[in-house]
Structure 1
Amino acid sequence: MKRLERLTALLSFLQSRRYAGVRELEEKFGVSERTIYRDLRSLDESGVPISFEKDKGYFIVDKYFLPPLAFTLDEAKSFIFMERLAEKYTDKEVFGHFSSALEKIKNKLKHYQLEDIELLESNIGTYIDSNYTPKYIHLTEQAISNKKVLNISYKDIRGNRTERTVEPIGMTFYSQTWHLIAYCRLREDYRDFALSRITAISLSNEYITEKRLSLSEYIKKLEEAEQD
């Protein structure tokens, strides 16, 4: 691996980790400790805000992002399909963030590439129940990402309303709607809440401290139960 390629890969690797030790970086890139220190210094001198914390390792200061990447035309086109799905299956906050990111990608395309993209945009559509209006996706995503408790008002299939305090573990999409998978303190067990049946939601200041199942563990548990 050439040095420029290694520096780019090192930057990407650091951004994907909370911390990275020198030994870990040596093994990852197959170079000496001295080379790792030299590469870290080069990134720092180029303006990447690299810092170090004792007993943990090196890390990139929050809020720093890689400069815009170069996309091929086919890669850029794939985002158009995702934009159409995001428009129909996410709420306005998530779709707004996606549209902003896509616009930045478009700004990096050549004029002839942009013409291809605009042609594709005008010929890709999605058709779903007009009564379906996604909501609460962004707030739910925030709770999952920050490991915070949610307070929800929920109406079940029989029309019964309950107030729940839940600990989110993930989201999944099926039966034409998003579902929040969470540990319900009222039922003292994991529950599946269709977002379309949530009538009110608020993000609490309480962090989840108990160890809960991951979404994949929850799904595996369901699959095993079905096989019994």
Structure 2
Amino acid sequence: MIDNDTKRLSRLTAILTQLQTKRLLTASELAKKFSVSVRTIYRDIRALEQSGVPIFTEEGKGYSLVEGYKIPPVMFTETQANALILAEQLVLKNKDASFVKDYIEAIDKIKAVLAHSIKDKVNLLAERTRFSQNINSEKNSNNLSDLQYALTSFCLTKIEYINEAKESTSRLVEPFALLSTQENWLLVAWCRSRKDFRFFRLDRIKKLELLSEKFAPHKMTLQEYFDRHH
């Protein structure tokens, strides 16, 4: 079952798309379309308003966007765009074809308004992320967003890492890919001290620092990495 946060993200983006393509929408129309209660739509509209979307409410008629308003490229920061890409990977695991189709259409429209520099990065991130359904609901890492940025911006990263023997080591790594297993997120990175690619469990990274030094991008796809190293 896809988690509620991802369902809501999908619905909010789809509502925003609907508001951009139609002049007036009622709460009951939206509730029917997304199979939720009218009260849920009221909460969604409030959430969009709180995020800065100028929604005009016509009493007894419905909702519309303030005339001339479009989603600007600056609406999403790079880390927010990365979060959307990650959510897209999760949605693709859902077995409801209509839900997947609606979400992908909505996310494609969002991608269309991203600045070109961010668009290139989110495409790289999508290629370098593998997601399997995470059955462990515990949030066991605070580093995913920073590592997404390091991966797409080619930032050398310093980590304090606890290995299986409970020993703490300091590593300089070049983030290459992010993989989700059933229990943990894994970072695939070139380790400068080992001079090879290594896996690092995100829940064992106790400290992380993005350095100003950039590393040369690794010229291979994630599939090529798997072919060479497995």
TM norm structure 1: 0.47
**Higher Cα Rg, which structure:** 1
TM norm structure 2: 0.47
